[in-house]
Chains A and B, each alone.
Chain A
Amino acid sequence: MKLTFKIWRQESTAVHGRFESYDLEGAGAEFTLLEALDKLNDQLVSTGKEPVAFDSDCREGICGSCGVTVDGQPHGPVANTPSCRQHLRSFPDGSTVVLEPFRSGAFPVVKDLAVDRSGLDRIIEGGGYVSLAAGTAADADAHPVSHDTAEAALDFAACIGCGACVAACPNGSANLFTGAKLMHLSLLPTTAVERGSRADGMVEAMDEEFGPCSVFGECVQVCPAGIPLTAIAGLNKEKLRAVLRGRGK
């Protein structure tokens, strides 16, 4: 099939970017979006041009490295699917596909389609970890956790940190990302010990760089891990709990 890619080219964070158009022929409908970019880059390199920079790693939707905006939609046209699992069969033959980096004030463009998502790391540094020494693996029944609770914690732990929720949000909010981590760690007995200080630290770090949530619900449409909107209520529940019980509880 034949596609025209209109791709955002930007040499570095400091300079302005622009769109450039490239025609790609000979790509199959079974190609993933990133494979199409690989093929395009082969053509660019063979003609002595600079290849298009983009992030990717596992290419099976579990690492959270990839992420481009396709026709204004973070990750691409298929909902809840990362860029690496989007296929060219979504686009009619001969169509024009606009590729941009993830757009958010907190995600400065590093180069072309690659953005700096370290703002999400700074939220995790605010408290999205376990600082107590858990020792060796405990006996299976030492910490009673119901099946439903364990499943719920795992569902929220599924976040791969790709940042699509931020890019999808008209407010540039990271509530879904932060809420998923807070919910995940608050549901299990050992990690719940630091609930209060974690909520305070993560919400403070989040408010420094990201926007407020207005419950547009755009984040849950793009999230490759299927994190539900409940995570946003969970974030506020954890923060309110920390306020009502006092810091560090």
Chain B
Amino acid sequence: MSTKTTEIRPGGRSTSARRHPLLSTFWCKIVMAVTGLIFSAFVLVHMFGNLKVYQGAEHFNAYAAWLRAAFEPVLPHEGLLWVLRLVLLASLTGHVVCAAILWRRARLARGPFRRRHLPLRSFTARTMPVTGLVLLFFVVFHVLDLTTGTSPAASDSFAAATTDSSHAYENLIASFQRPEVGVFYALAMIVLALHVAHGIWTAAHDLGATGRRLRATLVAASGVIALVILIGNISIPILVLLGVLQ
């Protein structure tokens, strides 16, 4: 029998480190689940709107103009857009802040010895913080590119919308015709699908989906919704890059 000594590593955390935070883990998870489902519903509707690009410039620009004029005169001009923007901005703040809090608590709770070499089945779960950060960057880029038209994110030919006309179609095509931007949009959609697929399934747990049939429905729905968003959206930059959409 031989005895060999290997390197010294730090010991475990003591049980004295108990936490009484202002915002409990349970409430952080509820905030993340609700805001995450708001985002999922938004990107699904956004994707359906994007598909109008296949009806041509006239339809797409008319849809963009309608979004600004929707529910007039009950809402002021761009009223619907601003309601959506405020809801999404509040959701984004809550989602990111709670994610940061939970990520820190998770690392503290696990202690110095991380789990390593996990199998592929938990890939989407493990990559949630990474896909989340990529999406955060994508959202900022996307708004600068196609909403505000700020360079260098936007294409050189960006034209802002006026009260009764929109150049959304031309802006979109010009943006995606830049190869590196088109590829970035396509990759971001894959990241989005991974994030949404695991996000909806996690939200189902956070909001207490225990029924057998309900869970079977939700696990399928999370995958199908993510896939529909992926296929609907990714087709646009790919077809622009291939020269089909011009």
- State the A residues within 8 Å of B (CB): 6, 10, 13-24, 43, 47, 49, 72, 100-101, 103-109, 115-116, 118-119, 168-173, 183, 203-204, 207-218, 229-230, 232-234, 236-241
Contacts and interface: CB of A to CB of B under 8 A. Distances in A.
Give the one of B5, B7, B106, B108 with max A CB within 10 A: B106
Nearest to A9: B5
B204 A233 contact: yes
Interface in B7-34: 7-15, 17-21, 24-26, 28-30
B210 interface: yes
Contact of B4 (A21, A171, A183): A21
Contacts of A209: 15, 18-19, 109
Given A20-B3, A212-B105, A13 B122 contact: no
Contact of B8 (A16, A22, A105, A238): A16
Given A22-B3, A233-B208, A234-B210, A215 B202 contact: yes
B208 A105 contact: no
A207 B19 contact: yes
12 contacts: A13-B14, A16-B8, A49-B3, A100-B113, A170-B118, A172-B110, A212-B106, A214-B106, A215-B201, A230-B215, A233-B215, A236-B206
A211 B110 contact: yes
Contacts of B228: none
B5 to A, nearest CB: 6
A209 B21 CA distance: 11
B213 interface: no
Interface residues of B, number: 56
B205 A233 contact: yes
Given A170-B106, A214-B202, A14 B24 contact: no
A183 to B, nearest CB: 8
B9 A207 contact: no
B106 A211 contact: yes
Contacts of B25: 207, 211-212
Contacts of A213: 29, 205
B28 A212 contact: yes
A158 to B, nearest CB: 17
Nearest to A4: B2
Nearest 8 interchain pairs by C-beta: A237-B208, A211-B109, A105-B111, A172-B109, A171-B106, A103-B113, A172-B110, A19-B6
Nearest to A204: B24
Contacts of A236: 26, 29, 205-208
A3 B245 CA distance: 64
Given A21-B3, A109-B11, A172-B111, 18 more contacts: A10-B11, A18-B7, A19-B5, A20-B5, A23-B2, A103-B115, A170-B106, A170-B114, A170-B126, A172-B109, A212-B25, A214-B102, A215-B125, A215-B201, A233-B208, A234-B210, A237-B210, A239-B26
Nearest to A206: B25
A208 B102 CA distance: 13
B26 A208 contact: no
Contacts of A234: 208, 210
Contacts of A217: 121-122, 125
B209 interface: yes
Interface string B197-232: 010011011111110100100000000000000000
Nearest to A239: B26
Contacts of B128: 214
B106 A172 contact: yes
Contacts of A103: 12, 110-111, 113, 115
Contacts of B9: 16-18
Interface string B112-143: 01111110011001101000000000000000
Contacts of B24: 203-204, 207
Contacts of B106: 170-173, 211-212, 214
Q: Which of B4, B109, B116 has its CB near the most chain A CB atoms (within 10 A)?
A: B109
A179 B198 CA distance: 20
Contacts of B125: 214-217
A116 B13 CA distance: 11
B1 interface: yes
A105 B11 contact: no
A18 B5 contact: yes
B8 A43 contact: no
